[in-house]
Each structure stands twice: as structure tokens, then as C-alpha cells.
Structure 1
């Protein structure tokens, strides 16, 4: 069996319970990612520390800054030491960060703990879908990778349910212990993830590139692919003979531009505003905006919005490998633009119950289109666009772009919101969503049903074609210039 034959066998394998179970383990980090980026929204109005506008923004956005750092660190580490080992370290960081957040003695410790948690969020967002892409059959790769997005949104919903339940059961402890419990409970799934991730196999494509034959045979056996020891040795030699290939070829650069723009726009169009600041935005709209009842009402409103996205991502998982990335992506940003505009109108022109209803409808519609055609697509193309030998590095750079965009927006939002108002902010998000729709109408290729190697070849072909067209245009311009001089 040759390298090409093995890859074809991996790509044509049936995505049975083994694949879904492995993907569930890989995306436990997605659950922690979602919970740890939403629980702060629930706890924000309960934390008893006095915070300036900047400190308030950093308390929410600090995890995003840590995530940007974690993403950059994870890239070279995962390409050198493997996907599995970094995913294990992520789970440990999640657990430590959650415990420190719950036991914090002052605001400074809490800010540091949130940034520390961010390291795991960033590393996990850089590695999880890259790991999945390296074992998933091509016919179900999108659905398997999309599970990461579902776990994120599911955990955000769980976070709001837990927050609401704790405040309902122990309202008298809200400003003393409830917020600590909300933040600290993230340690439980983190420890579960830490234990079970030690049992995961390493990525088969990474093992092929590194020539680790014995572990490769064990991983293939786990995936129900039987290959002899001699065949594994021969395949590893073939892969090592290709080590002189360029790391950052024109195709890799082109893929990075497309995916990088997608990662930036999926954040700056406002997706995390309702998740991070939803309770704080909605609380003043219920009664006087003070007291525990308005806080819980704000959490409940945000829960409704979050639950909607959790359900709609299930539809995206079902259709991403049939309708395709481009097919879903085309409707995603356009729908987001429409509903953000509806929210802007509601915030500016309506009052009282009508305003709340308009905003909830706006955010729900926005979440539907984001969940269907934007969020999961971003993590999917991040994992599948690049060749194995640079996948970890490129995925980490994309995660860095994602989290720096997130950090910038989340950090400035409190001041922006209080300066111009929610309506103007939402109209800005609508404009950015429409701009993204126009850009990706031209840039985003379809990759459904393609192996990761075929996707890499497609981007190289597109780059070569563009170079030829540029050369032809350049030669034509030179010829016209000579003709003009000869006249």
C-alpha cells in the first residue's frame, strides 16, 4: 500500500461511532471554550469588585487576549510534539484557571485567571479542528469539524442555564458565592477532558509526516484501518522523501488570506456581544435595571438567544457536507446583516417591551444565520485548508487572528456602547456583515467532498492560474507601452 492509497482509504472510510466518539473527545475543549467565554457574562453583574470601564472590558475580553497568545504558542508546539499532547495540556489549563477564578481574593487575581484560561481557549481553537481534519473521512469531515462549533454554543447555553438555576436556588448568596460557583464549575468538564484525552490516538497524518510508524499503526487500527508493519514503513519513507516541499507556497498563502479574512469578519460582525454582554445589555430593560431580578431576567433573555444558535448548528452539521461550505456561507453573512439592521431599528425607534422583543428577535435571527453559515464554517476551513506539515502553524495563526479581533471588539464595546448607543453599534455590525458577504461571494471556494490533499492542490492551482494571468496582463501592458513609443 502506498501513501496515496492509504490516504484514499482514510478518506473513504465510514464515519462510524469510533469517529464520532473520538471527535467528541477532541471537542470537549470546545465545550470548555464555550462555557468559559459565556460564564463571565452571567457573573458580570454579581462580581463585587469595583472595576473601571477598561477593567470591566478586560475582565470580559482578557480570555480573548490570552486566547490569542495561546493560539500562537500552540502552532509550532503542535507541529513539533503532536496534536494530542497539546490538547491534554489545554484541559489542565482549563481546570486550573476555573479553580483560581472561583477562589480569587481580588479583582487582579480574577483578571489574571481569565487571561490564563484564555491560553487554553486559544490553543484548543487552533488545534481541535486541525486534529479532526487529519483523521476524518472526506464525506463527513465538515460534519465532524462542525461539532466543535456545536459544543461551543451548547456550552454557552449550559452556562446560562446553570447561572439562572444557581441564582434561582440561592439568591441570597448571589454577590458572595454564586458567581464563584458559576466560574468554578468549569473545572469539572476540564478534569473529565484531561482524563479522557490521555486515551485519544495521535493524528494519523501527523504521525505519517513524523515517521512514527508504530504509533501510526496503532492509530490506524483504532480507526479500523488494517495496515501491515511493512506497509506503514514504506508509507513513512514516502512521506519523509517529500520533506523538501516549501512550507509557505503560493497556495498556502492564498488559503491563509481567505481563511484569515473569514476569521476576522466572523468576530468583528458582533457574534460575541450577546454572549459576553447580553445579560448586562438586557438587565436595565427589565424594571429599574438594578437588583437581582433584573439580572436573572437579562440572563434568561440571553439564554433564549443562545439556545437558538445551539439548535441551528445541528442543522449546519447535517447540511455542511451536502450543501457545502460556500452554499451555507453565502446566506450566513447576508442574514446576519439583515437582522442586525432590524436590531438597530429596534434600539433607536422602539421603547419598553417592544424594544426588548425587537432586540431578542434581532439577536435570534442573527444567531440563526451565524450558526448556519458562518461560525462552524470558519472552524471547518481552518482545519482543512492546509497541508499536514504546516496545518498546526497555519491553524494557530488563524486562531490568533480570530482572538485578536475578538479581543479588540470586546474590549472597546463598553465604551463604544455608552458613547454612541446600541442602535448605532448594531447598524455598524450590519454594514460589516454585508461587506463580508460581498467579499466572500468572490473569494470563498467550495471544498465539500474533497480530501484535504485535494483542497491543497486546488489552492495551488488557483495561485498558478492567477500568476499566469498577472504575467499575461503585465506582458500586454509592456507591449502596449512599446507600441505607443514607436508611434
Structure 2
């Protein structure tokens, strides 16, 4: 137990992380695991659904979770500021379990869509809370690494779902269109219930407790985090937090720096989605199955091969995300994002060439390599960076609501992409669709260069000053205006 004469929040910001901090970050980001799990589950089950579906109907079913996530993220913002981070995380796990069961027992498309909407509400709410919760206890030197666990959990969820799908389909290939798809959609109930039980033992955010004046619970939270806190210290810290809140009331709540930060995060999220990443996971087996169709294989065998190929991409995704975890706090957010968008654009063009001009085995190899390297670049510089920014750039007083709005924008963009892709593919083919995504990656490069400051190494209280004005081109990690003007309205 650490005892210090420094302020409690200052101690929290500067101490080293231990296993318990990593454990808490994993618990907070289980929603990311469930999101990844659901993305790959619907991707695996989609080719086996016994319903007659048009491209638009396919898009509606797959995008149902994204639409629910939009609603969940918007609702979670004000609710988590009022009731706390932990309470909402518990509710999210329960909702995911319910949605999984409804999806598994669906006997027509409407019920399946309802189940996916419920799953989406849980995922969206979780995405609005998880990185905000982490940012409120994580040491500032390692905040990026801990927040990247959100993206890592997404990739692990995707991989776990594909592994389970391959096992289920290998055991009972003849039941793929009767029982197997129900197992794939319903098995998410198990990790959801496990997460509910584990999250019940999490401490509440100490910053949120101090802001709400819950001194006794704040003492418990600090002690759980390994910081010895006396009632006097907590009371003094609470008064300091309240004094600062009152001083900045009407300034850092919803004024220029905060609004600018929200716009930057929201645009980053939109570009994160519309550059095409979730096409590879929502529709991976659906896209890859035709490349395995030949005279010597049955339709079921080709579909299972498509699921296995998508699983290989999921393995690459998990491995690549390690490099984001490794470098986000050393190279910083900007360099990783600009490099990632550059690589994504290049490898989308490679994949588009393979899809449009090659045939047979060469086509399969080039398309797979293009997808694999595109996913790798995204995982290293874009996937986790958006969630990290969402959690770290807002002051505590509005973090829940601002994070909720940012997450809602992300899910709305996700919904539009997932709904539109089947129509785009049917209209002008996979190759040209990938070219469109590549052009949007170039837009992403320009956006990050001109509008995203470097936030690494700053406390969550300091970061909002970086958004009071344009990016400082000489040193993107420093404000472009003097400190005294950073709270201007």
C-alpha cells in the first residue's frame, strides 16, 4: 500500500502500474471483447442463416448491432456521469447476455434484428464508458498502453469467435444451417455472464467519486488501487476537485476547447469506420467464401473455408495490436495514426488490384495479403487510438457525456458503413469499393496532420488545453496558445 504526501490524484497519475491495474483495464474493456466476439459471430453465421435475404436485408441484420450501439452510447454518457462508471458496465454485461439469447432463438429476421439491437445497446454503452474509466485511474505515462487494451480485447474477441465457429462447424458441418448458426449467435451469453460476475468486484472511478462527494467510497477505491488514503486526505482532495470544478464551471464544461476536442474525436471516429475496417470482420467469411468455390468442393466446405480464412486475418489483427500497445506511449498518437492511414491506403489498392484483375489462387493470395496488411496497419495506429482519445481528451466533469457523444458518432458511422457495403459491392464490385476506402484513408492522413495534437505524456486535466486553437505545428504536444487563454469561452 503506497502512502504519499503528494495529492491523491497526483499520486494516481504518477505511480507505476502493476498487475491489478492491467486486470482492471481488462475488466473495463470486456465490452470490447464482446463487440469483437459479436462482429465475428454474425460474420460466421451470416452465410448459414436459413432466411432468404436481399443485400439490403443482410445489411439491416448485420448493422442492427451498430444502430443499437449508437443508442447505447448516447444514453450511457449522461447516465454514467450520474450513476457512475461501474454501474453502467454491469448493466451492459447483462444486456449483452439477453441479446445473445434472443438472437440464438430467433425464427425469423425481425427477432434476430431485435436481438442484435439489444446487443448493440450494450456494446455502445460500454464503448462510451470503458476508456473513460481507464483514463480516470491510469498513470499518465501508461494511459495509452492501458487504453489500447480496449482495441486488443476487440481483436481477441474476433479471434475467439472465429475459433469457436471453426470448431462448431468442423464438429457438425451438416447442421450448419439448422443448429450451428444458433450456437454461434447464442454462445456470447457465456462471456457476458462471466464479465457481469467479475465486474461486480471492480472499484468505482476515484475521480468520479470525488467529484460527487462520496468520500467513504473514494477511500475504498483508493485503497483498492493500492493508495493509502486517510479521511482527511480524501476530504482535502474532494474540496480541491470541487473548487477547481466551480472555478472552471462554464469554462471547461462545454466551451471552445472541449467542443473542439469533441469535434476532433468525432471526425477521427468517422474516418476510423468509413475507411472500411469492419467490412473485413462483419463480412469476412461472406467476402472470402467465393474465392474457395471450385468444382471439387461443396457449398458448405467453401463457406467453412471462408470462415477459416477470416480467422487467419483475426490472428494477424491480434498480433498487430501488440505493436499499438508497445508504441502508443513512445511514438505517440499522431505518428502512429499518420503511418497507419498511409499503409492502409497502399494495401487497399493492392487488394483492389487482386480483386479486379487476377483470378484463381493468385487472386486469393493477393486479396488475403492486401486485407492482412490493411488490418495490421489499422490495428497499430487507428483502432485503439480513437478509443484512447475518447477517454483522455475531456475533463472529468463532462467526460461521460462527451465520450458518449463520440462513441455514438463512431457507431453511427459504423452503421452507415455496414448497411451500405452490401449495396456498394453489388453496385460496383469489391475492387472499386476498396479504392473508395483508400481515398478516404488519404483524407484521414490530412485530418490527423492538421487537426490532432499529440496528447502523450499529459495528465487528463492538461490535455484539454491542447485543443484551444489549431495544432501547434512546431510542437504538436504543446498548446498553440498561452496557458492563460486556454480556458477561454
Report the TM range for the smaller structure's normalisation.
over 0.9
What secondary structure sits across from 1:149 in the alignment? helix
**Which entry has the higher C-alpha Rg, 1 or 2?**
1
Structure whose residues are more often helix by fraction: 1
Asked if structure 1 preserves the Cα contact closer than 8 Å seen for 2:455 and 2:463, the reply is yes
**Pairing 1:260–2:266 present:** yes
Asked if structure 2 preserves the Cα contact closer than 8 Å seen for 1:250 and 1:463, the reply is no
Q: Which residue of 2 aligns with 1:478?
A: none
Asked if structure 2 preserves the Cα contact closer than 8 Å seen for 1:251 and 1:462, the reply is no
What CA deviation, in whole Å up to 9, does each residue of 1:161-186 have, x standing for no partner?
11111101111111111001111111
Asked if structure 2 preserves the Cα contact closer than 8 Å seen for 1:2 and 1:234, the reply is no
Q: Which residue of 2 aligns with 1:281?
A: 287
TM superposition shift of 1:141: 0.6
TM superposition shift of 1:105: 2.4
Query: Which runs of 4 or more aligned residues in structure 1 lie more than 4 Å from their structure 2 counterparts after TM superposition?
Result: 1-4, 461-468
Asked if structure 2 preserves the Cα contact closer than 8 Å seen for 1:254 and 1:463, the reply is no
What CA deviation, in whole Å up to 9, does each residue of 1:119-178 have, x standing for no partner?
001001111001000000011111100001000011101111111111011111111110
What CA deviation, in whole Å up to 9, does each residue of 1:24-74 have, x standing for no partner?
111111111110122000000111012232211111111000000100000
Aligned partner (choices 190, 193, 200) of residue 198 of structure 1:
200
**Pairing 1:17–2:19 present:** yes
Asked if structure 1 preserves the Cα contact closer than 8 Å seen for 2:132 and 2:391, the reply is yes
TM superposition shift of 1:462: 5.7
**In structure 2, C-alpha distance between the alignment counterparts of 1:19 and 1:214, rounded to whole Å:** 21
Q: Give the TM-score of the pair, scaled to structure 2.
A: 0.93
Aligned partner (choices 439, 446, 465) of residue 431 of structure 1:
439
TM superposition shift of 1:110: 0.6
Cα distance 1:151–1:463, how it changes in 2: closer, same or farther (>3 A)? closer
**In structure 2, C-alpha distance between the alignment counterparts of 1:271 and 1:115, rounded to whole Å:** 21
Asked if structure 2 preserves the Cα contact closer than 8 Å seen for 1:30 and 1:148, the reply is yes
Cα distance 1:290–1:394, how it changes in 2: closer, same or farther (>3 A)? farther
What CA deviation, in whole Å up to 9, does each residue of 1:325-358 have, x standing for no partner?
1121120111100000111111111111111111
Query: What does 1:104-143 correspond to in 2, within 5 Å?
Result: 104-143=106-145
What CA deviation, in whole Å up to 9, does each residue of 1:222-251 have, x standing for no partner?
111112101111221222233441221211
Bigger CA drift: 56-65 or 450-459? 450-459
Q: Which residue of 2 aligns with 1:482?
A: none
Aligned partner (choices 294, 308, 313) of residue 321 of structure 2:
313
**In structure 1, C-alpha distance between the alignment counterparts of 2:336 and 2:20, rounded to whole Å:** 27
What secondary structure sits across from 2:283 in the alignment? helix
TM superposition shift of 1:2: 12
- Equivalenced residues, count: 469
What secondary structure sits across from 2:87 in the alignment? helix
Aligned-pair Cα RMSD in Å: 1.9
Q: Which runs of 5+ in 1 are unaligned?
A: 469-487
Asked if structure 2 preserves the Cα contact closer than 8 Å seen for 1:284 and 1:290, the reply is no
Asked if structure 2 preserves the Cα contact closer than 8 Å seen for 1:3 and 1:239, the reply is no
Q: Which residue of 1 aligns with 2:405?
A: 397
Cα distance 1:290–1:395, how it changes in 2: closer, same or farther (>3 A)? farther
Q: Which residue of 1 aligns with 2:353?
A: 345
**Pairing 1:363–2:371 present:** yes
Asked if structure 2 preserves the Cα contact closer than 8 Å seen for 1:30 and 1:149, the reply is yes
**Pairing 1:335–2:326 present:** no
Aligned partner (choices 32, 37, 50) of residue 48 of structure 1:
50
